[in-house]
């Protein structure tokens, strides 16, 4: 959940269709920093909320390539420059033999950096979990709209008109 400063309104919906409709309409009205809480993944909700692509895959790609390059560099340094051994008459810099270690080091560094990037993207670890309504983990859907600088009554009316069963102030 995004960190909100100031008051927020939470619309409680019974089904994901009304949630997507409300989120899309709120975004079209120009309301920013919308967030939603659902008990399971809802297809199309990210588009309705205006959420773009994440930066985490770029971290994985970059660090995976750097890990593979580091694996190649380490092998080349050891096998060619520091400790050259002639094995079976092959050249010292037989780069096809370096591929398994390059692949493994790329996967290792890419995986570890993805883990770290996900922790950073999800603001982990947090001190205390924020539980706005326990029904959101069972069978209800929530749309969170920050109302700082807006008329809260208009937002509440909008949420009720789009099918919200309840509107909570937090």
pLDDT of residue 3: 67
Over the chain (170 residues), the average pLDDT of each successive run of 10 is 75 94 93 90 92 93 98 94 86 88 98 96 78 84 90 91 90
Q: Range(s) for CATH 3.30.70 in the chain?
A: 8-52+128-169
pLDDT of residue 104: 98
Would you say the pTM of this structure is higher than 0.95? no
* CA pair distance 30, 80, nearest whole angstrom: 61
CA proximity to 58, closest of 97, 103, 12, 113: 113
pLDDT of residue 43: 94
Q: What is the per-residue pLDDT across 5-32, written as a single tens digit (0 to 9) for each?
A: 788 899 999 999 999 999 999 999 988 8
**C-alpha separations of 3 from 81, 123, 137, 161 in Å:** 52, 10, 19, 26
Domain 8-52+128-169, classified CATH 3.30.70, yes or no: yes
Cβ distance 9 to 169 under 8 Å? yes
């Amino acid at each position: 959940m995004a960190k909100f400063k100031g008051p927020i309104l939470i619309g409680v919906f019974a089904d994901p269709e009304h949630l997507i409709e409300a989120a899309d309409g709120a975004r079209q009205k120009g309301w920013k920093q919308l967030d939603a809480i659902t008990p399971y993944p809802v297809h199309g909700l990210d588009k309705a909320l205006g959420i773009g692509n994440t930066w985490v895959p770029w971290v994985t790609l970059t660090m995976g390539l750097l890990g593979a390059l580091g694996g190649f560099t380490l092998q080349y340094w050891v096998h060619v420059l520091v400790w050259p051994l002639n094995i079976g008459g092959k050249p010292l810099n037989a780069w096809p033999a370096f591929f398994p270690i390059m692949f493994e080091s790329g996967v290792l560094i890419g995986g570890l950096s993805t883990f770290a990037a996900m922790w950073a993207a999800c603001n982990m670890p947090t001190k205390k979990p924020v539980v706005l309504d326990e029904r959101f983990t069972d069978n209800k859907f929530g749309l969170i709209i920050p109302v700082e600088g807006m008329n809260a009554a208009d937002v509440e009316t909008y949420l009720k008109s789009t099918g919200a069963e309840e509107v909570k102030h937090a």
